[in-house]
Structure 1
C-alpha cells in the first residue's frame, strides 16, 4: 500500500494551531460557534454553518488563531463529503482509510480556493476536488510500472472499446478495428496495449518452466540477464535528440564547442566574438531548456 497522505489532524498540527475542539476561546474571538456545537448540527444545518464559517474566513487574517480555527472547523464539519466520495469506490474497501486521507487533502484545497462571491454551493465546488485527489491517488499507486497519464487513460478506453466491439463482432477486435473505433492510429493502439502490461506485475520469485507454468522450475529472476549499464545513456540520448533539434544554430554550436570540442567558455567567446560572461549565460539558458524538456512528460 502506498504511503498514506497526512490526516486532517496532522494538517492542523502543521499549521501550528491547536485542535479545534480545544479552541473555545478562539471561537469566541472569531465570533463563531465552538466546533463541538458545529459537529452536533443536523445535516441540513451543516450547509448554513459551512456558509457562516466560509463568510467569516474571508474577513480573518490568514495565519491568525481565529483563521486557523475557522479553517480547521470547516474541514471537520465537511468530512462527510470525503466519506461520500470514498463510498463511490466500494470495490477498494481495503484502501478506505487512504482514500479518506487523500480526499481530505482535496477538501482542504477546496476550502482554500473557494470564492463565495461566485454564488456556487460549497459542496458543488468541493466534491470535484475531493474526487480528483482520490483518483490521482489511484493513478499514482495502482500501476506496477509508472507510465504517462495519457497511456493510463488509453488503457481504460481500450478496455471499454474491446468489450463493446467483442459484443458486436462476437470475437476479439483486431488492432485496426480498435483504432477505427477510437479514431486513433494503429501505432497508438499498440502503444496502449504494450503500456497496459505495466498495470500488474508477476513476482520474480515465482518459479516456472519454459511454457510459463509456475512451480518446480527456476524463478524468473534466475533467467533474467543483468542490466546493460549503457542502456540509460541510450534512453537519455534518444530523449535529448528531439530537444536538440528545437535549438537554434548558435545554441547547438555553443554546445558542440563546449562539450564536443571541450573548449573553455573564454575560447568559445573568442571564437564567436562574445564575452565569456555572455557565453556563460547562453550556456546556462540552453542547458536549463534541455533539462526542463527532459523532465517534462512527453
Structure 2
C-alpha cells in the first residue's frame, strides 16, 4: 500500500499489520512470567511496527512482513530487558520445580504426576499450580539455560540473539532441536498436545484452552510444567 508519491501508506499498513503484532505478542506471552501483561507487549509491538514502516527499504529485497517481524520482536525484547521481567525469586522457584521433577524421574523412572511433584515440594496441589502460573515458562528454544542463584541479567541477550551467521551455533542449534524433539516425546500425552498446538500450529493460549476444554490458566500451568520437564531432560544433552 503506497501513497501517490510512492511511499508506504503508514495508516493503512498499521491497520493491516496490527494482527501480526497481536499474534507475535500471544506467541511470546506464554514464555514469560504472569506479571508480564499482553497489552503491554502489544503496545510496544505497535511501536516496533511503526519503526519498521519508517525504516523499510524495498530495494533491499526483503519482504516487509519479514522485516517488520524482526522489528516488532526486537521492540518487545528491548522492553523486557529493561523491565526486570524475571525476578531472582521467580528463577529460584523455577529451579526448585525442576529439581523436584529430576529427583522424581530418577526415583520413579517415568514422568511424575502433578500431585507427586506437589508432594515432593511439600505443598498442596493448588499451591503447586499457583507456582506454575507464576513461573509461566521460559524461552523454549534455548533450554540449555542453567543460570545460577545470582541471577541472569543478560538472559535475553544470550538466548534470543541472532546467531544465524555462526556455523557452530547452527550445528549446536540443530543438535539441540533434535534433542528437544526426543524430549517432547517423553512428555505426558496432554502436555505433548499443548506443545504441539502452541509451537507447531501457532495456536494461542485461548485457542488451546478451547480445544482442551480447560481455562487459559490451566494451559499456562501445563505449558510451564512441560518446560520444567524438558529443561530437566536437556540438562543431560
- TM-score class, shorter-chain normalisation, is 0.3 to 0.5
More RCO (CA 8 Å, sep 6+): 2
Give me the TM-score of the superposition, normalised by structure 2. 0.35
Specify the structure having the higher radius of gyration (Cα). 1
